[in-house]
Structure 1
Amino acid sequence: MAKRRTDGLSREVIVRAATGLLDDGGEAALTFRALTTRLSTGYGAIYHHVANKSDLLAAATDDVIAGVLTGVVVTGDPREALRTVALGLFDAIDAHPWVGAQLSREPWRPALLEIYESTGRLLDALGVPEAALFDAAGALVNYVLGVAGQNAANARVLAFGEADRTAFLAEVAAQWAKLDPERYPFVHRVSARLREHDDREQFLAGVDIFLAGIAARY
């Protein structure tokens, strides 16, 4: 029988353990029973630091997002900082798919507030007028979290390696190429690009399109 921990247990240790469970099996895998087993402790020691599963999910999400945003500063080129933040969020949600769902479920939590704060400050540094800051930040954040969340959900559902992904995209691209070019001219034309595209690069291209629009307008 594993020896139960009687000291040294902190909220940070609990959150890290919860993150591991979430990464391994999603939200269904995060139970207090599984957590007590992983930490070799009792329920009381955990409840001393977190109120319930919802509190633990929120804390784990805050921790992941904080890891992305820590160190991002306004000085320097705000455009590059925005690209760094966006790509960091994309990679974080790709590595922790449950984060995207949690951000959508509880948008009032600190994690999303920090994302908006960081994005808004950088857009302000980029010269976006005060009257347009709210809409610009909302549009960019919605794009980043929407695409990142969908990408992570697709990866979780399909759950295949790079070779399988290549084969899957090739099959879909072949189906697109067979479509009537008069009925689906665009889809038919880009079928080859679908086979070759990189999700991460396509995501960043969308961020660049957004920032180019900002530069052209303001």
Structure 2
Amino acid sequence: MTKRTERRADALSKEKIVAAAILLLDAEGEGGLTFRALASRLATGSGAIYWHVADKGELLAAATDHVVTRAMSAIEAGGADPRDAIRTIALGMFDTIDAHPWVGAQFSRAPWQPAMLRVFEAIGARLWQLGVPEGARFNAWSTLVTYIFGAAGQNAANARLQAPGTDRSAALADIAGGWSRLDAAEYPFLRQVAPQLAAHDDRDQFLAGVDLILAGIGTVL
């Protein structure tokens, strides 16, 4: 009996559990991730899952680490220009959180987990390579990571507020139309940028923000 139980646990494996959890999180969100739902998806019992994962917190951390490691693997190990590497890291995190919105919530809840530390170190190392002075390095790093995860998380949160099947262009056009009708004396700026709101691309705008920060960092080199 013991040998059969061990074989079932080995056949299931933590990797299979994490992969199934990611699919469940993407489909149902964090609230839909329960050991009962996961056991049903894996056609097994909850006890077999507990053999590999202690609780939901450990499972969320493992799922986050998996998707972040996959995103970070797209970054060249060396030789890339540090600015280009920072852009690649930033876009990798933007795309990861856009595809897996629960990752952003997990980052904000547990910023010390290995997946987050890996991204922190990758950005800090590139700032070091750029030659950012030690006195300015922490502020430069903090500004970048705060923007990257804040903007990416907010974009994912905004997407979740939209009903399934919502036409993004139509929704933005509706908001922009409202801005263009605001009082010109009280809201001159919003009226002026309304056409840009309607036509902007979230990913391009995100990268433009990274470039603005990098340009600012360039002034202390």
- TM-score of the aligned structures, taking structure 1 as reference length: 0.93
| Distance change >3 Å, CA 169–CA 71, structure 1 → 2 | closer
Match of 1:209 in 2: 212
Contact 2:176 2:197 in 1 (8 A): yes
Contact 1:74 1:122 in 2 (8 A): no
| Secondary structure at 1:45 match in 2 | helix
Matched, 1:130 2:105: no
Following TM superposition, where does structure 1 have runs of at least 4 consecutive aligned residues deviating by more than 3 angstroms?
159-162
Could you tell me which runs of 5 or more consecutive residues in structure 2 were left unpaired when the two chains were aligned: 1-6
Matched, 1:62 2:42: no
Match of 1:100 in 2: 104
Distance 2:141 2:115 in 1: 15
Matched, 1:173 2:176: yes
Could you tell me which runs of 5 or more consecutive residues in structure 1 were left unpaired when the two chains were aligned: none
Match of 2:51 in 1: 48
1:154-201 deviation per Cα after TM superposition (whole angstroms, max 9, x unaligned): 111114547x11111111111101111221111110011011001010
| Secondary structure at 1:67 match in 2 | helix
Distance 1:179 1:125 in 2: 47
Match of 1:78 in 2: 82
Aligned length: 214
Distance 1:67 1:157 in 2: 27
Contact 1:74 1:125 in 2 (8 A): no
1:21-59 deviation per Cα after TM superposition (whole angstroms, max 9, x unaligned): 000010111010111111112222211111100110111
Distance 2:46 2:179 in 1: 54
Matched, 1:88 2:92: yes
1:47-100 deviation per Cα after TM superposition (whole angstroms, max 9, x unaligned): 111110011011111111111112523422111111011001000000000000
| Distance change >3 Å, CA 31–CA 121, structure 1 → 2 | same
Considering only aligned residues, what root-mean-square deviation do their CA atoms show, in Å? 1.6
- TM-score of the aligned structures, taking structure 2 as reference length: 0.92
Distance 1:196 1:160 in 2: 21
Distance 2:178 2:127 in 1: 41
